[in-house]
Chains A and B, each alone.
Chain A
Amino acid sequence: MDAILFLVFAFIAVACGINVVLQRHPINSALSLIGVMGSLAVLYLLLGGEFIAAAQIIVYAGAVMVLFLFVIMLLNAGRERTQTVPWVVRLLGPPALILFVSALGVIAYRLLPYRDLVRFGGFTRGGAADVGRPLLTTYVLPFEVTTVAILVAIVGAVLLARKEGGE
């Protein structure tokens, strides 16, 4: 059951991921990205990370993608123009891509030892408390540094937006 669900949603995630790049209209790309986020949430759930799965949906599929769509609509971004691709690229592109991906696969396979393969249902500490406690004890410093970094980003964004509009 787990394996079937994994295969289905992994396939959806990869297909949506490819679709993000292939689509010519930004809205369709954004929608495919939502598909990727949603399937990733299901994969987290299969691995036992309930909290991470819910947070993934709320933050990425919900908030982030709504803002993406909002900006795309606000800027009224149109269909991307097709560029003429040189025939060399067209001819050599797909084989080179396949070669690259399979090389990556082989390297990853060599580097990772056999015993550490993922097992479904082996991990049970994925609830909210299990994620929250280490975040506020063991990893409190990186956590706070991240929040400060985000604050800096917000201040920077406000500054940029004001410069453009004011004076």
Chain B
Amino acid sequence: MQAIIEHPWFLPLTVGIVIIALFPLVAAYIVLAERKLLADFQVRLGPMRVGPHGLLQPIADALKLLLKEDVIPAAADRGLFWFAPVISTWTALTAFALLPFTEQLHVVDVNVGLLVIVAMSAVGVLGIIIGGWAANSHYPLLGALRSSAQLVSYEVALGLALICGVMSAGSLSMVEIVQAQLERRVWLAFDNYGLMFIAFIIFLISAIAETNRLPFDLPEAESELVAGFMTEYSGLRWGLYFLAEYASIIVIGGVGVTLFWGGWLRPFPNVSWLEVPLNVVFPLAFFLLAALISFRLSRRLLRFSRWRALLMAATGAALAGVGLLFLLPVAHPTLSALFWFLFKVGLFIYFVIWIRGTFPRFRYDQLMDIGWKYLVPLAMAAVLANALVGMLRAT
């Protein structure tokens, strides 16, 4: 047993399997969170029927997707139609391997880690293009063309914004980037007298465009293109595209958190008296508050149905249990690091959903204008300014 645990492949394999096993569930619940939040922004309730407050809706949705007929259009290129969603999902899940959840808890840490993630997102575009083309239909083809133009355009700005961060951190390895922020005593988003924040804003805009989210979701603009490149997809194959989309949101959020927001580090990582308030009290309060809300909801549900109230109470108990874990000294360093990483990624996902609920979609020419006429020059200026300031500070 000891030999198995200490084997160098044990941790990467376990983390990898856990990611692959848990990811569809997590993605499904992010979808639920998104629907609930959008409903809240629009003053409605959102899914409420399946389970208490719609808590079991993702599972029902997943079952529906699995049981649906998988239609392949008669005129489609069967092989490519089958293969395209696989490319998208495969690249998105491969990028997960590079995310540093904590200092030890990651699948691999290679010295060109950030480049590999960028490469995976570049190859992921192929899944969209091939899927759109293989369906042999008008809307998917137009969606695929739009998508490839958009992704290639915004990759430039994204790359330049990443270069700013890499210059400050002095490494491409994801773990070393976070360690560099610990050494510099500041999260990179606030480095170089606020100049890095410009790079972060550019990263944020192009990240939303890269993940095809509103307001940049022209590849699947419903009013014009039905569902864009995935119009002809159905059932599980459509589900794979969906999964890939949410995987890329989490990955790009993880990259942003690692590069600009200190990865697994807590806020003010060098101020030692904040250790207990931020690493114990904050997560404990966070989870206990969530548990408290669940218990109150459960009491209110008791009037309607007993098992719904019971399920809600169980959810609350689970949340409280997770919160109490932070009091254990043994698991603590890894757990609080993991908490901060996931918390920041969660904030990013919340922000992305918030943007979706707030902004209208851009017109296609506006999209290209923003990409090439504003973001790319601004990103080049940011690289230059950050390089100059960084050099002056180093000497």
Closest residue of chain B to A38 (Cβ to Cβ) is: B123
B315 is an interface residue with CB less than 8 A from chain A: no
B381 is an interface residue with CB less than 8 A from chain A: no
Q: A70-B148, A73-B129, A128-B172 are in contact. Are A54 and B155 (CB under 8 A)?
A: no
Closest Cβ–Cβ distance, residue A52 to chain B (whole Å): 10
Which of B116, B123, B126 is within 8 Å of A69, CB to CB? Answer: B126
B residues near A61, Cβ cutoff 8 Å: 119, 122-123, 126
Closest Cβ–Cβ distance, residue A88 to chain B (whole Å): 35
Which of A27, A50, A51, A63 is within 8 Å of B155, CB to CB? Answer: A63
A66 is an interface residue with CB less than 8 A from chain B: yes
Interface contact A34-B126, CB-CB below 8 Å: yes
B261 is an interface residue with CB less than 8 A from chain A: no
A10 is an interface residue with CB less than 8 A from chain B: no
B141 is an interface residue with CB less than 8 A from chain A: yes
Interface contact A54-B145, CB-CB below 8 Å: no
B60 is an interface residue with CB less than 8 A from chain A: no
Rounded to whole angstroms, the CA-CA distance of A74 and B112 in the bound complex is 34
Chain A residues bordering chain B, tally (CB within 8 A):
22
Closest Cβ–Cβ distance, residue A160 to chain B (whole Å): 20
Q: Contact flags (1/0) for B118-135 with A, using CB distance below 8 Å?
A: 110011011001100100
Interface contact B116-A54, CB-CB below 8 Å: yes
B25 is an interface residue with CB less than 8 A from chain A: no
Interface contact B148-A27, CB-CB below 8 Å: no
Closest residue of chain A to B115 (Cβ to Cβ) is: A54
A58 is an interface residue with CB less than 8 A from chain B: yes
Closest Cβ–Cβ distance, residue A58 to chain B (whole Å): 5
Rounded to whole angstroms, the CA-CA distance of A57 and B124 in the bound complex is 11
Q: Contact flags (1/0) for A68-83 with B, using CB distance below 8 Å?
A: 0110011000000000
Closest Cβ–Cβ distance, residue A48 to chain B (whole Å): 11
Q: A57-B119, A73-B141, A73-B144 are in contact. Are A65 and B126 (CB under 8 A)?
A: yes
Interface contact A127-B126, CB-CB below 8 Å: no
Rounded to whole angstroms, the CA-CA distance of A58 and B125 in the bound complex is 11
B48 is an interface residue with CB less than 8 A from chain A: no
Which of A31, A57, A74 is within 8 Å of B122, CB to CB? Answer: A57
A-B contacts, 6 of them at CB < 8 A, read A54-B116, A58-B122, A61-B122, A65-B126, A69-B130, A73-B133
The 10 closest A-B pairs by CB, nearest first: A62-B122, A54-B115, A57-B119, A58-B119, A54-B112, A50-B112, A127-B111, A70-B148, A58-B122, A69-B129
Question: Which residues on B are within 8 Å of A, measured CB to CB?
Answer: 80, 110-112, 115-116, 118-119, 122-123, 125-126, 129-130, 133, 141, 144-145, 148-149, 151-152, 155, 172
